[in-house]
Amino acid sequence: MPPRTNRCKQGQDFPDTVIYNHYMQGGWNKMSMQLIQQAVRYMEEHILEDISYADAARNVHMSSYNFHRTFSFVTGMTANEYIRKRRLTLAAIELQTTNLSVIDAAYKYGYESPESFSKAFSRFHGSTPKQAKHKSAKLHLFNPLVIKIMVEGGSIMDYKIEHKEGQQFLALVKSFPNEIINDDNDQSIPDFWTECFEKDLIGPMKQLRTEGKRDLYGLCSPVKDNGTHFNYGIGILIDEDTDHTKLKHFVNNGYTIWKTAPADYAVFKCFGPDGDCLGETWSKFFKEFVPQTGYAQTDDTDFEIYFEHGENNLFCELWVPVRQG
C-alpha cells in the first residue's frame, strides 16, 4: 500500500533562530525568503492578536495552502507552531519580570482559560506559569526567526521538467486541513489509503485500466473556495487505456472525476522503502531545487505515481506543478 506521509519535519523542538537557505542565487529564491521574513514580521507585529497562518499568507499574497507548505518545509515548523512558541516565550518573560498574573497572561496570550494556558505553558517550558514567577525557574527561550543566506552544494538532485496537457483521473477524494502537511504525528492520509483498501474501493477502480498500466496516483490540490483545506485523491489516470464505459457507475457510487489544467511539472523519483523518501524529496524541493533553479510551485494539482511495475526500490514518482519565477 503506498500511502502519502506527512513527514519530513526539519530541525529540533527548539531550533536555531536562523534559517539558512541553500543556493541563494536566483531571483525567485531571494523573493521567497523575503516573503517568509515578511510573514515572520507580520506575525511578530500581531502576536497578541487572533491570527493564524492564513492571516500571514494573506499578508504576503500567497494561498494558505502554498504558504503553509513552504513555511513548514523551509523552517521545520508550521506558522501556527511558530506563533504558539513565540507567545509562550513572551508570556514566560512577562510573568518572570512583571506583576502580571497567570490569569491575565492566559487571556493576553490568546488562551481561552488559565487551565489551557497552564497546560500548554508546562508542556513547552517544563515549568508551570506559577513556577515561572521565580527567578530560578528554567524556561525555554524561542527567539524570532531571522532568514539568512548560506551557500551549500555538492549534492545531486535528479529531476526533469515535463509539460502535461489537461488530464483526468477517477479518484476517491477526501478533504484535509492544511495543518496536517509536514506533521510527523498525523496519519490522516495513510489512514485514508488503509480505509480505501480495506473497503475494497481501490481494486475495482484499478481493473478499469489495461493490465500492466494499473498505476495509482496520489493527487493533491488546495480547496479553491476554502483556504484552510486541501483535497487529496487516490485514483487512476483516465486515457485510452481506461475502460470509459464503466466510469459513470463509479461516479454514481461516490468516486470523483478529477481534472487538471495544462501545466509544467518538475518530476522527481523517490527511492526508499517507505514514505520517508517522499517527505525528504519535498524538503529538497523547497530547500534545494527551488532556490537553485528559480522555479516556483503553483497551486495546481501535484501528484505521486505509484507504479504497478516500477524500478527497483522506487517508492513513487513525484510531480510538482511549477512556473518560472
pLDDT along the chain (325 residues), means of 10: 44 37 40 82 95 91 87 86 95 94 96 96 95 89 76 68 96 93 84 96 97 96 78 97 96 97 95 89 86 85 94 94 86
Check residue 20 and give its pLDDT: 37
Give the pLDDT score at 23: 33
Alpha carbon distance 157, 8 (integer Å): 17
Strands 314-324, 256-259: pairing is: unpaired
d(CA 62, CA 67): 6
Phi, psi of 319 (to 5 degrees): -115, 115
Say if 72 falls within a structural domain.
no
Rounded CA-CA distance 109/102 in Å is 11
> Model-level pTM?
0.74
Residue 87 lies in a domain: no
Instruction: Give a yes or no: residue 312 inside a domain.
Output: yes
Beta carbons within 8 Å of 292's beta carbon, 6+ residues apart: 22, 23, 25, 26, 29
Domain membership of residue 233 as a residue range: 160-184+192-324
In a domain, 16, yes or no: no
CATH at 315 = 3.20.80.10
31 in any annotated domain: no
17 within 8 A of 146, measured Cβ to Cβ: yes
pLDDT of residue 292: 79
Compute how many other C-beta atoms are within 10 angstroms of the C-beta atom of residue 229: 18
Residue 127 lies in a domain: no
What the block records as the C-alpha cell of 12 is 529540533
